[in-house]
Structure 1
Amino acid sequence: MGKTTPTVVLDGFSYLECPRWHDGRLWVSDFYTEKVVAIDGRGAAEVVAEVPGQPSGLGFLPDGRLLVVSMRDHRLLVRDESGRLDEHADLSGVVSGVLNDMVVDDRGRAWVGNFGFDLMGGAPLRYTTLTRVDADGSVAVAAEDLGFPNGMVILPGGVLVVAETFAGRLTAFDIGADGELTGRRVWAQLGDTPRTEDVGEAVAALEVAPDGICADAEGAIWVADAVHTRVLRVAEGGRVLDEIDTGIGVFACMLGGDDGRTLYLCAAPSFAEHERRPVREAQLLAVQVDIPHAGLP
């Protein structure tokens, strides 16, 4: 693709994450205003949910209802047609940190990551688990020993790929008919994995810090690099096919638009909560790409 500079779709947010293209609009969580916002292609925005526990991962059940991760109280919420939020699942018994991103499959099963340690409080880095929430709200540990499981995609054919931010890699699993994850393997190693419990040292050592991700119709994955103001298009095996420099921190991405070729980027000057919470400097950016969206979300 040509080196096109992203343009600003909308600004004035606190910290955007987990964008999802659904029903002709981009749905996105704004962490510190505690709102989920749906944005059309012309920049008009509607608040579709308010989540006092801080919204993060988004997804949609087969019947179209919205699922929302409520980070701080370890719950997964469901939004009905009237806009009311109810509890879909309580993950507090199986997670060791605040909840994070999520992907939902076409059977209504959700895979939810968690921080695993107090990132914003300066705690030592710890690896953690991935949780599966079935359509009936039942909860189970799906995988262990993940280095900050973050963005996720489900590729056509039923392969779950998880961005491990502090391991600098994308990790793949096969999804069984019963939802069990098997065949764990590295889908793309994006530099050496830091061997330290110090978060600052780990951030400095990461060649790529994969945060939010999305997949395209050629089987490549767009990766928001949380520490290098860029988004990368990566092939299985780790070869970088393309790079877009945003000039600002980019923490999540999603292919959308009517033809699936608009790459939306969630951007902000940094990810630190104490820097982002009091200000409204986050932006939603967009750039046109050649290969359209595929897979989930």
Structure 2
Amino acid sequence: MTEVRVLLDGLVLGESPRWHDGRLWLCDWGAHELLIVDADGQRETVGRLDAFPFCIDPLPDGRLLVVAGSDRRLLRREPDGTLTPYADLRPLCDRPWNEVVADGRGNAYVNCIGFDLMIGEPPGPGLLALVTPDGAARTVAGDLAFPNGMAITPDGATLLVAESYASRITAFDLAPDGGLLGRRTWAGIEGSAPDGIALDAEGALWYADVPGRRCVRVREGGEVLQTVEVDRGCFSCALGTPDGTPTLFVTAAAWTGTANATATRTGRLLTAPAPAPPAARP
């Protein structure tokens, strides 16, 4: 059985972990805090954002893009920590926006699940938007069943997105203009609800599963390579290399429904040994 360690306790609802600049960055949605956590579990609050959800991913120049989901905006974090407007997403979808991933050209892909989960709206089709470096935004894919975690392959050729309500990882080819082509199922994962995802250097993918209380490593086609089980819902995951050691980071929290999502501090940042380091940035 894989050894799981609690690196940080007392979060409300941790999400969107990213291994960036040799450190783990993390969003605590419930506390509205952007955190950096070191290898000893010491946390530093480096920003606050009054939005739910909010997610991050670095641009090629190292600056972070930040999705202010409930505000329907994409922001950019400057080196001094200030947040500046980057793109207005309201014309594309008036529901909360979710995850973001950036490619090697400075394009960003942002998804909207298409309904407001936190107020109990019935599920609706989600979408994917492209935001180019000049801040222009356009829809590049629709009819997604709760689009969630995303990743781009190291060659910059393929975008992967977890469809939580369809139990699959969906792939798209990235066109020269940033558009998405060749939609296909990368991995069908029956019985799972994939949330946050992370690619490793061997081409496998980890996905977090809230109802399954686990993180699962799969290869293209859906073969399960490894499962890490925990005592609460797994919302997202990231791979990093603290002290050069491949490590899986997992954000987990007790989940009893939207009504109590931010009522208690059951959130944890967990770690477990990983068989491969993170995939290279595209």
TM over 0.5: yes
Q: Does 1:187 align with 2:171?
A: no
What is residue 166 of structure 1 aligned with on the other side?
Answer: 165
> Greater shift after overlay, 107-116 or 181-190?
107-116
Distance 1:216 1:62 in 2: 19
Counterpart AA for 1:269: A
Post-superposition offset of 1:107: 1.7
- Any idea what the Cα deviations from partners look like across 1:104-125, whole Å, max 9, x if unmatched? 1122211111121121222211
Q: 1:120 to 1:266 in 2, by over 3 A?
A: same
What is residue 201 of structure 1 aligned with on the other side?
Answer: none
DSSP-derived class of the 1:72 partner:
helix
8 Å Cα contact 1:265/1:285 also seen in 2: yes
DSSP-derived class of the 1:120 partner:
helix
What is residue 225 of structure 2 aligned with on the other side?
Answer: 241
DSSP-derived class of the 2:16 partner:
strand
8 Å Cα contact 1:57/1:103 also seen in 2: no
Counterpart AA for 1:89: A
Counterpart AA for 1:266: T
Q: Does 1:291 align with 2:269?
A: no
Instruction: List aligned pairs for 1:13-162, cutoff 5 A.
Output: 13-157=11-155, 158-162=157-161
With the length of structure 2 as denominator, give the TM-score of the two structures.
Answer: 0.95
DSSP-derived class of the 1:280 partner:
coil
Post-superposition offset of 1:5: 2.4
User: Residue 279 of structure 1 is aligned with which of 256, 260, 264?
Assistant: 264
What is residue 6 of structure 2 aligned with on the other side?
Answer: 8
What is residue 256 of structure 1 aligned with on the other side?
Answer: 240
Counterpart AA for 1:22: H
Ranges in structure 1 where 5+ consecutive residues have no aligned partner: 192-206
Distance 1:271 1:106 in 2: 38
- Any idea what the Cα deviations from partners look like across 1:163-196, whole Å, max 9, x if unmatched? 00001100001112211111110001112xxxxx
Post-superposition offset of 1:274: 2.6
Distance 1:213 1:121 in 2: 25
Count of residue correspondences = 280
DSSP-derived class of the 2:70 partner:
coil
Q: Does 1:267 align with 2:252?
A: yes
Distance 1:248 1:241 in 2: 21
DSSP-derived class of the 2:165 partner:
helix
With the length of structure 1 as denominator, give the TM-score of the two structures.
Answer: 0.91
DSSP-derived class of the 2:115 partner:
coil
- Any idea what the Cα deviations from partners look like across 1:27-61, whole Å, max 9, x if unmatched? 11111111111111111211122111235221112
DSSP-derived class of the 1:274 partner:
helix
Counterpart AA for 1:219: G
- Any idea what the Cα deviations from partners look like across 1:199-220, whole Å, max 9, x if unmatched? xxxxxxxx10000000111111
Post-superposition offset of 1:154: 0.6
Q: 1:260 to 1:86 in 2, by over 3 A?
A: farther
Distance 2:264 2:98 in 1: 22
Distance 1:173 1:135 in 2: 20
- Any idea what the Cα deviations from partners look like across 1:142-168, whole Å, max 9, x if unmatched? 111100110001112221000000011
Post-superposition offset of 1:239: 1.0
8 Å Cα contact 2:3/2:273 also seen in 1: no
8 Å Cα contact 2:53/2:97 also seen in 1: no
**Identity over aligned residues, as a percent?**
44
Distance 2:281 2:97 in 1: 20
